[in-house]
Amino acid sequence: MESQVRGGTRWKRFAVVMVPSVAATAAIGVALAQGALAASFSVSGQSFKVTADSLHGEGFSQYGAIDSGYTLDGQKTAHPVAVSAFKSASITNMCQSVVTPNIPLLGSVSLVLKAGGGGTPVQAENLYIDVEDLQADAVFHNIDIGVAAKDASKGPGIAKGDQANPYGFAQQADSADLTDVKQTAWATTAGTFKLSGLKMSLSKGVKECY
């Protein structure tokens, strides 16, 4: 995937492919749990699932964009997404999963990340989630609907590098509260992303958050 600049930090998006370097992925996970790294999650040519008991975000905006990249066999892909952006967010009982199919000798392999339980939520700054599908109960505080994406000043703004129409439809709010969250996403990016109580597991077969 291409490099992105979000949250003031440049870091190459890493593809969670599971076969090449499980040890390196685990090391990254430990650093994220300690709040040591900016974070960018994307899966080359694949969407992934995320659930959370609750998400409270300050400085919310949402706009349309196109995610592009390559599949594991080198084919170009493009996907329309709704980018949900937060200046800061607190996430309780977060689960993130991705299934990579057709691995030689193994078949499907699932990666599941869990964090934010035990009374200590996940904390994120300048969080962008490229959403394909979202289910949740939501409350927006002081919401503005139908502003141009470039004029949505309550959130962190359009992410640099996003393929988005600055004059396209957007909405914004002072804050947002989402509960019982289930979503399918193509990318998650944050300036900082602290995963308290991080647990990562790899298993054969299909195992997803929902």
For the cut 60, the answer to whether the pLDDT of residue 21 exceeds it is no
pLDDT band for 1, please (50, 70, 90 cuts): very low
For the cut 80, the answer to whether the pLDDT of residue 4 exceeds it is no
CB 47 within 8 A of CB 78: no
Tens of pLDDT along 99-148?
A: 988 888 889 999 999 999 999 999 999 999 999 999 999 999 999 999 99
Hey, where are the domains in the chain?
A: 3-204
pLDDT at residue number 15: 35
Instruction: Please give the sequence-ordered ranges of beta strands (E in DSSP) within the chain, or none if there are none.
Output: 3-6, 9-12, 14-15, 39-42, 48-70, 76-92, 94-103, 107-115, 122-148, 169-194, 199-204
pLDDT at residue number 40: 60
Tokens of residue 132, six digits: 């394909």
Tens of pLDDT along 148-174?
A: 999 999 999 999 889 999 999 999 999
For the cut 90, the answer to whether the pLDDT of residue 17 exceeds it is no
* More reliable by pLDDT, 105 or 28: 105
With H, G, I as helix, E, B as strand and everything else as coil, classify residue 34. coil
Rounded to whole angstroms, the Cα distance separating 78 from 87 reads 26
Tens of pLDDT along 68-96?
A: 877 767 788 888 999 999 999 999 999 99
For the cut 60, the answer to whether the pLDDT of residue 43 exceeds it is no
pLDDT at residue number 54: 98
What mean pLDDT, rounded, does the chain reach? 83
pTM for the predicted model, two decimal places: 0.80
For the cut 80, the answer to whether the pLDDT of residue 39 exceeds it is no
